[in-house]
């Protein structure tokens, strides 16, 4: 017997087809759109109703408003000429998997709440572990973002250093715990110390050596640890970096891990962007010694092509992570099942999305060879752009390419304030619309970052980038 639908039932099949068609048309038209929208703050909000409707509206009206208001106010992260930040990719095959995961609307916190989601996650974590060349001593989970994975690592450092008493007793009356990291690490490290209750003053920023990789100074690290012990503080862990956000700063992982072993410190390796490139064996020299880290994060939702959110968190000793993160009231226990994994015990989140499905679709649809080809192309094309800009008399390369990331400055004669000029240049380039770049500060100077990595970009997009950069720069002089 068929059930009577509610009065406000939506024709899910018809509107899903409409949304899929819109999405396909959108992806086909991206190259013709400006990468960043030309809107002023408040312009989108002004077109949205001031209060929610009491009665339901038709999907026709809702979809019409979506098409009229939203796309023109979006920054297009799937655009082939998005060269800002690090890309947040969404390969078509993985997008389809995300649609299917949404249809399940599963809460994947425990094995029993979604057995297939849990067991597929175990397998996909291991597929990626193999793909980046790490030994089978690593296990892991998919966190939402690298920020969450880093927070879990910092909490684990804290608990391990305190003999797993911090969660129960708090931090009052205990020695200050010290975490060490390069001065070039991501701000998520600072925030992790805030949230973990350790305080930003206890994040010790170690100076870096000269380029091209700007690694943490190992001698300064040793001195900082010794000085803290002598001052009655308690060193707890080290956060290492491969492919830092600003200019690709990369620590000497083997050297830092050796120091950590000598000092009895927990290590976390932040390779959120660059870690995806490790599916290409020739790039693994960047993280030589990674197998000695206690915790590693890399983001398949950046360079590999899975849609947000999907951050791979690998650990050598899952028991330490679970002991830090697990809380088990009776209603979260699974009785009568042996050998299961409850991934909510590996993370801050209790509620969890079905993230592994899009990884499964992605790897099967494109294969590791297809993903490797894209990454290798991005590296080659970005490095070729760096060389073309280096050959222009009015440009300089500020930091050498690390994989597909480099930074540059426009340095024409007769400009008194080159920092202000380059900041004006990046804004003018983004207003031009052909490409999207971001600025950073390196050695006290404003630089412009360039990073290639959009899933379906072509070599032609690099040529367009060169034209946009040089033409806009010279129009300002």
Domain co-membership, 332 together with 417: no
The whole-number pLDDT of residue 5 equals 64
Per-residue pLDDT at 336 exceeds 90 = no
Per-residue pLDDT at 447 exceeds 60 = yes
Domain co-membership, 66 together with 114: no
Instruction: State mean pLDDT over 353-376.
Output: 96
The whole-number pLDDT of residue 182 equals 94
Per-residue pLDDT at 357 exceeds 60 = yes
Instruction: State mean pLDDT over 233-249.
Output: 96
Q: Is residue 344 part of a domain?
A: yes
Helix, strand, or coil here: 181? strand
Read off the pLDDT of residues 160-190 as tens digits, 9 standing for 90 and up: 999 999 999 999 989 999 999 998 888 899 9
Domain co-membership, 346 together with 476: no
Q: Is residue 143 part of a domain?
A: yes
**107 pLDDT tier (thresholds 50, 70, 90):** confident
Q: Which of 318, 353, 388 is the last residue of a domain?
A: 353
Reported as half-sphere exposure (CB side, CA atoms, 13 A), residue 368 has a value of: 14
Q: Is residue 327 part of a domain?
A: yes
The whole-number pLDDT of residue 201 equals 95
Q: Work out the percent of the chain whose per-residue pLDDT is above 90.
A: 85
Instruction: State mean pLDDT over 102-106.
Output: 86
Read off the pLDDT of residues 49-95 as tens digits, 9 standing for 90 and up: 999 999 999 999 999 999 999 999 999 999 999 999 999 999 999 99
* Cα separation, 450 vs 86, whole angstroms: 9
Per-residue pLDDT at 20 exceeds 80 = yes
Q: Is residue 1 part of a domain?
A: no
* Cα separation, 289 vs 216, whole angstroms: 15
The whole-number pLDDT of residue 337 equals 55
Cis peptide before 246 (omega within 30 of 0): no
Q: Is residue 14 part of a domain?
A: no
Read off the pLDDT of residues 4-19 as tens digits, 9 standing for 90 and up: 666 678 899 999 999 9
Contact 399, 383 (CB under 8 A): no
Per-residue pLDDT at 335 exceeds 90 = no
Domain co-membership, 378 together with 275: no
Domain co-membership, 157 together with 292: yes
How many helices and strands, by DSSP H and E, does the chain display? 13, 11
**327 pLDDT tier (thresholds 50, 70, 90):** confident
Q: Which of 324, 353, 382 is the last residue of a domain?
A: 353
Q: Which of 353, 383, 401 is the last residue of a domain?
A: 353
Helix, strand, or coil here: 405? strand
Structural tokens at position 26: 């959108």
Domain co-membership, 268 together with 314: yes
Per-residue pLDDT at 334 exceeds 80 = no
Residue 73 has a CB neighbour count (10 Å cut-off) of 13
What is the span of the domain harbouring residue 76?
A: 31-46+57-88+368-477
The whole-number pLDDT of residue 341 equals 86
Q: Is residue 331 part of a domain?
A: yes
Read off the pLDDT of residues 116-146 as tens digits, 9 standing for 90 and up: 889 999 999 999 999 999 999 999 999 999 9
Domain co-membership, 330 together with 380: no
Domain co-membership, 278 together with 382: no
Which domain CATH number covers 260? 3.40.640.10
Domain co-membership, 170 together with 271: yes
Predicted TM-score of the model (pTM): 0.93
Which domain CATH number covers 426? 3.90.1150.170
Number of domains in the chain: 2
Mean pLDDT of the chain: 93
Domain co-membership, 250 together with 380: no
* Cα separation, 69 vs 342, whole angstroms: 41
Q: Is residue 380 part of a domain?
A: yes
Domain co-membership, 113 together with 197: yes
Q: Is residue 5 part of a domain?
A: no
Instruction: Write out 194-261 in H/E/C secondary structure.
Output: HHCCCCHHHEEEECECCCCCCCECHHHHHHHHHHHHHCCCEEEEEEEECCCCCCCCCCCHHHHHHHHH
Per-residue pLDDT at 323 exceeds 80 = yes
Domain co-membership, 303 together with 405: no
The whole-number pLDDT of residue 218 equals 97
């Amino acid at each position: 017997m068929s059930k009577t639908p509610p009065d406000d039932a939506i024709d899910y099949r018809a509107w899903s087809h409409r949304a899929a068609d819109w999405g396909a048309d959108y992806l086909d038209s991206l190259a013709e759109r400006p990468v960043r929208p030309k809107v002023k703050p408040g312009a989108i909000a002004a077109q949205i109703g001031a209060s929610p409707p009491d009665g339901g509206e038709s999907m026709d009206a809702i979809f019409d408003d979506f098409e009229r208001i939203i796309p023109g106010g979006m920054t297009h992260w799937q655009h082939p000429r998005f060269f800002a930040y690090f890309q947040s990719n969404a390969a078509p095959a993985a997008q389809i998997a995300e649609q299917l995961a949404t249809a399940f609307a599963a809460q994947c916190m425990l094995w029993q709440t979604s057995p297939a989601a849990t067991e597929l996650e175990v397998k996909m974590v291991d597929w990626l572990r193999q793909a980046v060349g790490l030994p089978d001593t690593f296990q892991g989970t998919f966190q939402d973002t690298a920020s969450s994975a880093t927070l879990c690592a910092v909490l684990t450092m804290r608990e391990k250093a305190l003999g797993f008493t911090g969660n129960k007793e708090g931090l009052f009356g205990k020695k200050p715990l010290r975490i060490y990291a390069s001065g070039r690490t991501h701000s998520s490290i600072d925030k992790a110390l805030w949230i973990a209750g350790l305080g930003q003053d206890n994040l010790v920023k170690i100076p870096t050596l000269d380029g091209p990789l700007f690694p943490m100074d190992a001698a300064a690290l040793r001195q900082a640890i010794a000085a803290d012990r002598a001052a009655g503080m308690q060193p707890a862990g080290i956060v290492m970096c491969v492919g830092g956000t600003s200019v690709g700063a990369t620590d000497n992982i083997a050297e830092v891990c050796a120091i950590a072993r000598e000092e009895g410190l927990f290590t976390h390796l932040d390779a959120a962007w660059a870690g995806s490139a490790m599916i290409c064996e020739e790039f693994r020299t960047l993280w030589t010694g990674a197998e000695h880290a206690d915790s590693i994060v890399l983001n398949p939702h950046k360079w590999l092509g899975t849609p947000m959110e999907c951050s791979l968190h690998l650990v050598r000793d899952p028991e330490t992570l679970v002991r830090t993160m697990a809380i088990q009231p009776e209603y979260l226990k699974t009785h009568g099942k042996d050998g299961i994994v409850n991934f909510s015990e590996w993370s801050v989140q209790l509620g969890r999305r079905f993230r592994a499905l899009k990884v499964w679709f992605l790897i099967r649809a494109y294969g590791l060879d297809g993903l490797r080809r894209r990454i290798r192309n991005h590296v080659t094309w970005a490095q070729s752009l760096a060389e073309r800009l280096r050959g222009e008399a009015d440009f300089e390369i500020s930091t050498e390419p690390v994989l597909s990331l480099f930074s540059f400055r426009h340095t024409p004669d007769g400009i008194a304030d080159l920092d202000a000029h380059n900041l004006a240049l990046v804004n003018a380039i983004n207003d031009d619309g052909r490409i999207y770049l971001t600025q950073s500060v390196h050695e006290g100077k404003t630089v412009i970052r360039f990073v290639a990595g959009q899933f379906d970009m072509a070599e032609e997009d690099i040529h367009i980038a060169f034209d946009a950069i040089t033409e806009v720069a010279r129009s300002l002089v």
